[in-house]
Amino acid sequence: MEEDRVCERCGAAIPPGNERCPVCPPSNGRSPLTRETLLLVSLLMLVLMFTLTGFATKVYHSNQRRQAEEWYRRGDVDLKAGRASKAIADFRNALVHSRDNWLYRLRLAQALLAANQMEEARAYFRTLWDRRPADGTVNLELARLAVGDRNIAEATRYFHNAIFGVWEEDPAGQRRRVRLELCEFLLSCGAKSEAQAALIQLAADLPKDPRLYARVGDLFLKAEDYSRALDAFRQALRLDRQQVTALAGAGRGRARRPSRWRTTNRRAPISSRRCA
Residues 218-272: tens digit of each pLDDT: 999 999 999 999 899 888 888 887 765 655 555 555 556 544 444 434 455 555 5
Direct distance between the N- and C-terminal alpha carbons of the chain, in angstroms, rounded to an integer: 115
pLDDT confidence band for 80 (50 / 70 / 90):
very high
Q: How far apart are CA 197 and CA 11, in angstroms?
A: 93
Q: CB burial class (10 A; 0-12, 13-18, 19+) of residue 170?
A: exposed
% of the chain residues with pLDDT over 70? 73
Computed on alpha carbons and rounded to an integer, the radius of gyration of the chain in Å comes to 37
Q: Can you give the pLDDT at residue 52?
A: 72
pLDDT mean across residues, the chain? 82
Q: Write out pLDDT tens, residues 140-172.
A: 999 999 999 989 999 999 999 999 999 999 999
Domains of the chain in start order, with CATH, are 41-117 (1.25.40)
On whether the CB atoms of residues 126 and 141 are closer than 8 A, the answer is no
pTM of the full structure: 0.69
- How far is the CA of 30 from the CAs of 25, 26, 27, 33, 232, in angstroms? 11, 9, 5, 9, 100
- How far is the CA of 184 from the CAs of 24, 179, 218, 249, 270, in angstroms? 92, 9, 11, 17, 16
Q: How far apart are CA 154 and CA 45, in angstroms?
A: 63
Q: How far apart are CA 263 and CA 273, in angstroms?
A: 17
- What does DSSP assign to residue 151? B
